[in-house]
Amino acid sequence: MAKATFAAGCFWGVEAIFRALPGVKATRVGYTGGQLANPTYEDVCTDRTGHAEAVEVEYDPAAISYEKLLDVFWENHDPTQVNRQGPDWGSQYRTAIFFHSPEQEAAAKASKETLEKSGRFRKPIATQIVPAVTFYPAEDYHQQYLEKRGLASCHIK
């Protein structure tokens, strides 16, 4: 098994998209990239902890590649938005790839460069590509939030 971590706005919809992929074995939502240890949802919502709402994806590289996960990441949010996705705003909603290895870093940078050169977006891509740091799981009620409520998505592209 391997691990990938992505931030692309509200983690509920992002998690649902990754959970549906064949080869993804588990997901969990949480907070990463900030300076406060053991943050709560309320802490992160102050926009003062530096954390992003993120999804940690456990996947089988023999069944789904990291590059495919990157494709899904790029396709399911607006990577040109700075600290915002849809109606949600604040640094916790930033777009970021938290890499776990030099190979993931290289793949993420290459995919971002390819997307930038494609001309698909008129604005520059704002996605940060940074090393994975401590991931703090969100409260239980946030885990598989949409699935628990029988909702297909809340994702705004």
Q: Which pLDDT score, from 0 to 100, does residue 39 have? A: 97
Read out DSSP for 108-121? HHHHHHHHHHHT--
Environment class of residue 126 by beta-carbon count within 10 Å: exposed (0-12), middle (13-18) or buried (19+)?
middle
CATH level 2 (architecture), domain 2-148: 2-Layer Sandwich (3.30)
Give whole-number Cα distances, 153 to 6, 71, 78, in Å. Answer: 17, 19, 16
CB 31 within 8 A of CB 53: yes
- pTM, two decimals, is 0.93
| 52: helix, strand or coil | strand
Give whole-number Cα distances, 22 to 1, 12, 16, 58, 64, in Å. Answer: 13, 19, 13, 12, 7
CB 32 within 8 A of CB 6: no
Q: Which pLDDT score, from 0 to 100, does residue 154 have? A: 66
* Catalytic site positions: 10
Domain ranges of the chain: 2-148
Q: Which pLDDT score, from 0 to 100, does residue 157 have? A: 47
User: Residue type at 55?
Assistant: V
Q: How far is it, in rounded angstroms, from Cα 58 to Cα 129?
A: 19
For residue 54, the tally of other CB atoms under 10 A from its CB is 28
Q: Which pLDDT score, from 0 to 100, does residue 153 have? A: 61
pLDDT in tens for each of the 157 residues of the chain? 999 999 999 888 899 999 999 999 999 999 999 999 999 999 999 999 999 999 999 999 999 999 999 999 999 999 999 998 888 899 999 999 999 999 999 999 999 999 999 999 999 999 999 999 999 999 988 888 677 777 666 654 4
